Amino acid sequence: MKKWILAVAISAAITGCASEQTNPINESTLNQAALPAGVKLIEQVSVADSEIGIPYNKYQLANGLTVILHQDNSDPLVHVDVTYHVGSARELAGRSGFAHLFEHMMFQGSQNVGDEQHFKVVTEAGGTLNGTTNSDRTNYFETVPSNQLEKMLWLESDRMGFFLPALTSEKFEVQRETVKNERAQRVDNRPYGRLGERFAQALYPVGHPYSWPVIGWPEDLERASLDDVKHFFQRWYGPNNATLTIGGDINQQQTLAWVNKYFGEIPAGPEVESAPKTPVTLDKTRYISMEDKVHLPLLYIGMPTVYAGHPDEAALDLLANIIGGGQTSLLYKNLVKEGYAVQSSVSHPCQELACQFTLYALANPARGAKLADLEAKITASIAEFEQRGVTDEDLQKVKVQFEANTVFNLQSVKGKVSTLAANQTFYGNPNMVGKDLERYSKVTKEDVMRVFKQYIKDKPTVVMSIVPEGQSQLIAHADNFTPQTQPIAEDAVTGLTEVEQVKSSFDRSVMPQAGDAPQLIVPQLWSSTLSNGIEIMGTKTTETPTAELVIYLDGGHRAVPAEKAGLAMLTANMMNESSTKRTTEELAHALELLGSTVNFNAGESQSYIKISSLTKNLDETLAIVTERLFSPGFVAADFERVKQQQLQILQQSMTNPSYIASNGFSALLYGKNTVKGTSSLGTVESISALTLDDVKAFYQQQYTAGSAQMVMVSDLSQQQVLPKLAGFTEWQGDKTPIAPINKRIYAQPATIYLIDKPDAAQSVINIGKRSLTFDATGEFFKANLMNYPLGGAFNSRINLNLREDKGYTYGARSGFSGQEDSGEFIASASVRSDVTGPAISEFITEIKAYQQSGMTEAELEFLKSSITQSQALDFETPYQKAGFIRKIQRYQLDHHYTTEQTKIINSISQAELNSLAKQKLDIDSMVILVVGDKNTIKPQLETLGYPIVEL
């Protein structure tokens, strides 16, 4: 549910300070007459302009539904979140996977919302939507233009109160297949994918609610019946087990009236009690291991600690940061810096009922890769911590990082709403900001040493080894633990009582109309040029006191010859290391004390430097940027380590079917011996041959003022920003040369290319060709409009066919992507191995039919409504604003190009788009690439009638 170190879930959303004011509500202050009947105001929290926090009003309906409203009029959008306090921890032995299955089932329509209509309604409204499940809660959420709020409340209330009448065995079977596909894609077909579920079996006692995976065991999913599903819904999805949180551009009085109308009539479900927080203990260290389709052996060590919100949680977080939280940690120093591991980290993830202290390391095969050696070094590092102790700077660093994460998590309405919802669900109090800040700020050195001795020192652990197939000699220790099984629960739920049927006072089959379209707020941009010619574009946003600066350098992977593939990324990685003035660790430590991040990286056509900082620390952060930029250390020892890390990460990536497919498809379209046809990670041969002199030469070629452009989004004005960038005016150098792309066609169209991935649980399919280059208002833009009903939306023809109708995949899509001088059309999906041939056949059928007949009038109206209204969501966060600015800057677009796009969308004809489909979607001009288990899929492919080439 959290973490501030990892920026996940609950703590990732801590957003305030201790001076927030809560106004307790009592009979003397509450004007109940102003509220709808049956609605009770619980509390009001306000935040002064000078403070950081989330103001809100909290209400409760008569049926027990908790309602939290947060008003934020900065953007014309609203975010709606319904969180049910049910996750996999509410399941019973042998009945796993129900909560996650429900996440899927609840999108399949309800009594007044037709099949597949939930996605269609939200998408057509210009919104985005999703749902997530973890061990402790399930949430459903939508972000939409503010005029669509009532419609979202209608949708969410209908599936809360009227889901069961629309539940059919057919829907159940399709979604069960979809969940199986999700498991195959995210667990079985992914390197290390089974780590979490195997580890949890060993860490938690048999029958513990965290001992089974959220996605469920396959045999449990097979065991489930339609009645089981109905009973699970009746038990856990009542309004009294839910929190409805709404944030954004809302009228609170109107919103509350709508909430009461749509949700107030839904009767409460069975009573829900909090699950007990039973302490978890281990009798001895448990060793488990498995072989997997991986390149790098992995050691994963963990032990139980407390639970989320426990008084010792904060001190344990700090302990994890000291031992393994980045480049200044002990594990980094002893394992990564010394070359024994490619990666290592320590964390303290917490859930509602239990936390665990976990350490992991990916072994470097160049140093032997024996996990017993890594285990010994981790043990030695823990002992070193005990001798080292905790410093004042350790505490200072964490408190600054905590403040920074607090501020950065205020940048979206979704982030604030998610925070309020999670804190209410797990603690009964949305206003946890002050308490969280206080408990972290009060951690002392003595606290950290105390929790170390109480929970970590000499305590039994679970030690898991994952090694490449056939290399069991690398495991840390022979297995000494076998998970036990529990008898399968006779019923899927307990505590089920008679559920009252909903009696509605109005016609719920009538979907509410949208209000007047909100006024789109496009960022006001400024432009300037430094004295050395570097162009800067920026915008001011006052929602948070933060600065986001990105420095782009044209070139990246495209600027290196194919035989030196990987050089751009290797050089960027070296720029993240030492300078001539300070070591890597000293620079990392300086950034940690500022709560800032500076990251050099390289992509296909750009190198870039991404800087995030609190505004008050921007000057000091930029001083570190210029130090790294102008005075890179290029230390030989750093180079050998970084090169080895990149080489090992590449080889690890080569075990991932999705990476193999992406890389292989590029090679087919552009040639495997060209820079466009190779991965920016490089090849084993190219990286192995790179030298430090190559890095130095590419640095001189790439990191030049002539190649650079800057984008700035902050709460500072142009006049305030420019003096802070004065340090970059000494930057010199000409623009990096980039070779043109070869126009030659390398692969035979209408051919299936097969890459064997033995025993793969899924096949990755890519179908496509080279196509249009980028433009903002021309043929490329129109082609993506044309593709939207085919494969660009969730309810597109391709996805509804392969996912919803056939159950072949977790998701299928198509689209055009392009840059200045290249572009592709690609349709893709990961599908079950046993239906690879039929899935390709369905792709071909859909693309052919769309090319020949085009879209319908209804599909045209859908895309027009969806895309135009979605613009209200385009500029909310600094990251979104920076992306908008960069597109204008990179492609020299008019600042108001989105207005022209809207005109095109509103005026374009069905005939023009269908003509584009005829021109651009000829299936016989496309290449088909499949990555999967040859023995399983080749016989299927042979039935399709295409030539087959094995790569």
Q: What is the per-residue pLDDT across 732-777, written as a single tens digit (0 to 9) for each?
A: 999 999 988 888 888 999 999 999 999 888 999 999 999 999 999 9
Q: Are 784 and 858 in contact (CB under 8 A)?
A: no
The three-point CA angle 862-866-867 to 5° equals 120
Are residues 341 and 362 in contact, defined by beta-carbon separation less than 8 angstroms? yes
Residues 456 and 333 in one domain: yes
Of 488, 1, 484, nearest in space to 202 by CA: 484
Is residue 150 one of the residues assigned to a domain?
A: no
Domain count, the chain: 3
Query: Both 353 and 462 in a single domain?
Result: yes
Does 464 lie in the same domain as 585? no
610 and 691 in a single domain? The answer is yes
Do 694 and 768 fall within a single domain? no
* Nearest residue to 83 (alpha-carbon basis) of 269, 256, 237, 287: 237
pLDDT tens by residue, 228-261: 888 999 999 999 999 999 999 999 999 999 999 9
What is the C-alpha to C-alpha distance for residues 287 and 463, in angstroms, rounded to an integer?
5
- Interhelix angle 857-870/910-920, rounded to 10 degrees, is 100
CB pairs under 8 A, 24+ apart, for 342-348?
A: 342/296, 342/644, 342/645, 342/648, 342/649, 343/645, 346/320, 346/321, 347/3, 347/5, 347/6, 347/320, 348/3, 348/5, 348/305, 348/313, 348/316, 348/317, 348/319, 348/320
**The domain that contains 383 carries what CATH number?**
3.30.830.10
Instruction: Please report whether residue 241 resides in a domain.
Output: no
Distance CA 859, CA 213 (A): 39
Q: How far apart are CA 662 and CA 768, in angstroms?
A: 12
Residue 597, domain member (yes or no): yes
Of 474, 492, 513, the residue at which a domain comes to its end is: 474
- Whether residue 306 sits in one domain with residue 347: yes
Domain assignment present for residue 80? The answer is: no
- For β-strands 809-818 and 751-756, DSSP reports them as unpaired
Angle CA 916–917–922, to nearest 5:
120
The letter for the amino acid at 49 is: D
Query: 104-121 pLDDT, tens per residue?
Result: 888 888 999 998 888 899
* Cα separation, 224 vs 422, whole angstroms: 29
* H/E run at residue 536: strand 535-540
Query: Would you call 661 exposed, middle or buried from its count of C-beta atoms within 10 A (0-12, 13-18, 19+)?
Result: buried
**Domain residues for 683?**
525-728
Question: Do 832 and 884 lie in a common domain?
Answer: yes
Alpha-carbon dihedral 917, 923, 928, 934, rounded to 10 degrees: 130
Residue 105 sits at the vertex; the CA angle it makes with 100 and 108, to the nearest 5 degrees, is 150
- pLDDT of 97 strictly over 50: yes
- 784 in Cβ contact with 777 (< 8 Å): no
With CA atoms as reference, report the closest residue to 140 among 179, 180, 100. Answer: 100
The yes-or-no verdict on residue 499 having pLDDT over 80 is no
Cα–Cα distances in angstroms (integers) from residue 320 to residues 357, 384, 408, 597, in the given order: 7, 14, 22, 19
Cα(363)–Cα(674) distance, integer angstroms? 32
Residue 149 lies in a domain: no
Tell me the pLDDT band of 31, cut-offs 50, 70 and 90. low
Given pLDDT bands bounded at 50, 70 and 90, which one contains residue 326?
Answer: confident
CB-count exposure of residue 281 (10 Å: 0-12, 13-18, 19+): exposed
Scan for tokens 């823990």, then name that residue: 382
Token pair 């041939």: residue: 837
User: 528: how many CB neighbours lie within 10 A of its CB?
Assistant: 16
Residue 794 shares a structural domain with residue 850: yes
Q: Are residues 686 and 759 in the same domain?
A: no
pLDDT digits over 771-824, tens only?
999 999 999 999 999 999 999 998 999 999 999 888 899 899 999 999 999 999
Q: What is the DSSP letter of 878?
A: H
Q: How many residues does the chain have?
A: 951
pLDDT at 7: 28
Question: In this structure, what DSSP letter does residue 176 have?
Answer: H
**CA–CA distance from 945 to each of 750, 762, 801, 937 (Å)?**
10, 22, 22, 14
Helices (H) and strands (E) in the chain, counts: 31, 25
Instruction: Over range 865-880, report the average pLDDT.
Output: 87
User: Does residue 11 carry a pLDDT above 50?
Assistant: no
pLDDT of 378 over the 90 cut: yes
Q: If DSSP codes are grouped into helix, strand and coil, which group holds residue 861? A: helix
216: left (phi over 0), alpha (psi -120 to 50) or beta: left
Query: In this model, does residue 56 exceed pLDDT 60?
Result: yes
DSSP codes joined into one string, 388-418: H---HHHHHHHHHHHHHHHHHTTS-HHHHHH
pTM, entire model? 0.88
Shared domain check, 543 and 455: no
3-state helix, strand, coil in the chain (%, to 5): 45, 20, 35
pLDDT reported for residue 584: 93
Does the pLDDT at position 390 exceed 70?
yes
Task: Please check whether residue 137 lies inside any domain of the structure.
Answer: no
Residue 679 near residue 519 (C-beta atoms within 8 A): no
Average pLDDT over residues 827-842: 95
Percent of the chain at pLDDT > 90 equals 72
Residues 616 and 673 in one domain: yes
**Which residues 6+ apart lie within 8 Å of 719 measured at CB?**
none
Assigned domain for 842 exists:
yes
Is position 531 within any domain? yes
Within this chain, do residues 542 and 448 fall inside the same structural domain, yes or no?
A: no
Average pLDDT, the chain: 90
